[in-house]
């Protein structure tokens, strides 16, 4: 094993180690993770919010025992693969061992450590963006057509994981047209590669067509409920935080794309980042949508710096900068402090805007952290109510949102299969059963009206329990029990399904 390979393996091992180390046991999985895990129980070529790749991974996690270790392993794996692709990009660009180490340090000690803790499509998304760029670099440097097909496969897999990768192409296409690399579009294999990409994504496109394009419904809902509260200035500010320790490397890469002769064939990447960020800014995108842009620019910057800096002490300083600047990030960006500790010292979180939730207001914890609390408690209390029902087979567990339903289904010890009219669960109701009883999981701000509205539809009804973890976003969520329906529950559910579907 040569020195370069040994160092790469050390970086990858450190990546896996940090992913498990930077979270304390008091936190549960994240709200979104439960939805994606449940999608593994309902395999399809598409879902309301995402394409199918995440559900395939969830199926594998389930086959491995569905433990939290497995849930956390796969995002860590995709993060390690991203680091590997950046390392290989440096080598493709002719970078030295120092350039590889500098790039590896910048990628490792970044916000990707937080992103790669969560079982969401985002880790695969960043990997696919980086691989897409790597394939284009490889084609430009070698002119071997296999890289065009690699580009198509990276896009196809990325599209089947998250539609966000379309914005990578939106940025690249005009950038290619602005540079002499426009000639590559005349290559017949570009057309064949496009055809390959279309074949890869066609099952999802067909599913979208057959289901009246729920992606547009999801995007409209997202724009109305979340993106409307996004501030363009905040989006740009967040871009500075994700790779704070690598900013000087990214800037060096952008300068090198304009002024460094060996980078002349890759100048299109300078225009691509500007165009892509401009589109995201205009659309008021969430800041993390753009994370996939940056790893490849770290590769460019590392190669440029390695070509210009020869002093050993200065090279050592450059490698240590990402580590040093990661320390303040370590103190705020990860769920490695208890809620009590965060509330006692909110200043660092507030300064970085981390206490602002998607509703545009500041709260006592970062939203991501509050979304990782209270789920086990909720599932245990639903289990207790379910176990006490006179007839479980005719009991429906109905929740207000996908986080509640997914968490209950993940942690249940009583075989509960909760549903909701929210997200993909609207398609997962089993109306072949004739329901007589209802366990209703209701958000705290709506619980007062639940007995008045639902109670008359049943012989008996009462509030059984509620989430008492005051730090959880689901604090106060109440478990109501209703027995012996006076109406046709199945008929009413069917009506509401039709109303909620896109």
- Taking the CA atoms of residue 248, residue 251, residue 255 and residue 258 in that order, the dihedral angle to the nearest 10 degrees is 150
Per-residue confidence at 357, pLDDT binned at 50, 70, 90?
Answer: confident
pLDDT at residue 372 greater than cutoff 90:
yes
What's the pLDDT score for residue 254?
97
Q: Which of 384, 386, 433, 424 is nearest to 402 (CA)?
A: 424
Q: How many residues does the chain have?
A: 502
Which range among 11-15, 159-163, 327-331 shows the weakest confidence by mean pLDDT?
327-331
- Per the model's pLDDT, the better-predicted residue between 134 and 283 turns out to be 134
19 in the same domain as 156: yes
- Given 269, 299, 330, which residue is the final one in a domain? 330
pLDDT at residue 447 greater than cutoff 70:
no
Cα separations (Å) of 46 from 204, 219, 222, 336, 458? 6, 15, 18, 34, 37
389 in the same domain as 355: no
How far is it, in rounded angstroms, from Cα 328 to Cα 334? 11
Q: Which of 443, 437, 424, 454 is nearest to 396 (CA)?
A: 437
Per-residue confidence at 471, pLDDT binned at 50, 70, 90?
Answer: very high
The phi-psi region of residue 401 (left if phi > 0; otherwise alpha if psi is between -120 and 50; otherwise beta) is beta
What's the pLDDT score for residue 75?
96
Task: Read off the pLDDT of residues 61-116 as tens digits, 9 standing for 90 and up.
Answer: 999 999 999 999 999 999 999 999 999 999 999 999 999 999 999 999 998 999 99
Report percent pLDDT > 70 for the chain: 95
161 in the same domain as 105: yes
314: which 2 tokens? 């200065």
To which residue do tokens 């390959």 refer? 196
What's the pLDDT score for residue 499?
80
How far is it, in rounded angstroms, from Cα 229 to Cα 208? 28
What's the pLDDT score for residue 36?
96
314 in the same domain as 351: no
List helix spans (H) across 64-187: 68-92, 97-108, 112-115, 122-142, 146-161, 166-177
pLDDT at residue 294 greater than cutoff 90:
yes
| Beta-carbon contacts of residue 453 (< 8 Å; ≥ 6 apart) | none
Q: Which of 472, 299, 260, 291 is nearest to 372 (CA)?
A: 472
What's the pLDDT score for residue 225?
58
Compute the mean pLDDT over every residue in the chain, rounded to the nearest whole number.
Answer: 91
Task: Read off the pLDDT of residues 343-354 as tens digits, 9 standing for 90 and up.
Answer: 998 888 888 788
352 in the same domain as 395: no
Domain tally, the chain: 3
Q: Which of 219, 212, 217, 294 is nearest to 253 (CA)?
A: 294
pTM for the structure as a whole: 0.91
Task: Read off the pLDDT of residues 103-140 as tens digits, 9 standing for 90 and up.
Answer: 999 999 998 999 999 999 999 999 999 999 999 999 99
87 in the same domain as 201: yes
474 in the same domain as 348: no
**Are 132 and 165 a contacting pair, CB within 8 Å?**
yes
Task: Read off the pLDDT of residues 192-232 as tens digits, 9 standing for 90 and up.
Answer: 999 999 999 999 999 999 988 887 766 666 655 555 556 78
pLDDT at residue 374 greater than cutoff 80:
yes
How far is it, in rounded angstroms, from Cα 420 to Cα 405? 7
- The DSSP bridge pattern shows strands 437-442 and 395-399 to be parallel
Per-residue confidence at 360, pLDDT binned at 50, 70, 90?
Answer: confident
476 in the same domain as 411: yes
12 in the same domain as 97: yes
Instruction: Name the residue range of residue 479's domain.
Output: 375-500
Q: Residue range 273-279: average pLDDT?
A: 95
Per-residue confidence at 233, pLDDT binned at 50, 70, 90?
Answer: confident
177 in the same domain as 326: yes
What are the respective helix, strand and coil percentages of the chain, to the nearest 5? 65, 5, 25
226 in the same domain as 168: yes
Q: How many CA atoms lie within 13 A of 72 on its CB side?
A: 20
345 in the same domain as 395: no
């Amino acid at each position: 094993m040569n020195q370069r390979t040994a160092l790469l393996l050390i970086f990858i091992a450190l990546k896996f180690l940090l992913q498990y180390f930077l979270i304390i046991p008091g936190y549960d999985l994240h709200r979104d993770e439960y939805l994606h895990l449940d999608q593994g129980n309902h395999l399809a070529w598409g879902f309301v919010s995402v394409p199918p790749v995440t559900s395939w991974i969830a199926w594998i996690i389930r086959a491995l025992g569905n433990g939290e270790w497995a849930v956390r392993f796969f995002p860590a794996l995709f993060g390690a693969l991203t680091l590997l692709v950046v390392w290989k990009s440096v080598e493709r660009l002719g970078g030295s061992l120092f350039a590889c180490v500098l790039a590896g340090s910048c990628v490792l000690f970044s916000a990707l450590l937080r992103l790669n803790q969560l079982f969401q499509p985002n880790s695969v998304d960043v990997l696919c963006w980086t691989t897409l760029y790597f394939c284009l670099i490889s084609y430009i440097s070698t002119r071997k057509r296999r890289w065009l097909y690699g580009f198509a496969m990276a896009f196809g897999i990325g599209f089947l994981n998250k539609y966000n990768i379309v914005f990578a192409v939106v940025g690249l296409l005009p950038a290619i047209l602005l540079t002499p690399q426009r000639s590559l579009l005349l290559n017949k294999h570009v057309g064949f590669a496009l055809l390959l990409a279309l074949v890869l994504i066609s099952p999802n496109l067909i599913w979208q067509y057959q289901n009246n394009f729920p992606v547009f419904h999801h995007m409209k809902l997202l724009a109305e409920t979340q993106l409307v509260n996004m501030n363009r200035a905040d989006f740009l500010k967040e871009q500075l935080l994700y790779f704070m320790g690598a900013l000087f490397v990214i800037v060096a890469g952008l300068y090198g794309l304009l002024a460094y002769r060996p980078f002349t064939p890759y100048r299109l990447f300078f225009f691509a980042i500007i165009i892509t960020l401009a589109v995201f800014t205009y659309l008021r995108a969430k800041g993390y949508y753009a994370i996939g842009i940056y790893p490849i620019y770290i590769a460019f910057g590392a190669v440029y710096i390695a070509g210009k800096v020869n002093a050993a002490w200065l090279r050592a300083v450059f490698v240590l900068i990402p580590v040093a600047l990661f320390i303040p990030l370590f103190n705020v960006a990860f769920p490695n402090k208890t809620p009590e500790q965060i509330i006692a010292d909110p200043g660092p979180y507030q300064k970085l805007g981390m206490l602002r939730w998607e509703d545009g207001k500041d709260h006592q914890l970062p939203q991501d952290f509050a979304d990782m609390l209270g789920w086990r408690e909720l599932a245990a209390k639903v289990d207790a109510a379910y176990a006490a029902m006179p007839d479980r087979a005719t009991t429906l567990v109905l929740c207000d949102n996908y986080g509640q339903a997914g968490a209950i289904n993940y942690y249940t010890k009583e075989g509960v299969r909760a549903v909701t009219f929210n997200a993909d669960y609207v398609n997962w109701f089993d109306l072949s059963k004739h329901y007589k009883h209802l366990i209703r999981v209701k958000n705290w701000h709506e619980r007062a009206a639940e007995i008045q509205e639902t109670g008359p539809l049943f012989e008996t009804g009462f509030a059984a329990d509620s989430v008492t973890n005051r730090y959880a976003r689901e604090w106060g969520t109440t478990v109501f029990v209703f027995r012996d329906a006076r109406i046709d529950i199945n008929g009413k559910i069917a009506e509401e399904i039709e109303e909620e579907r896109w």
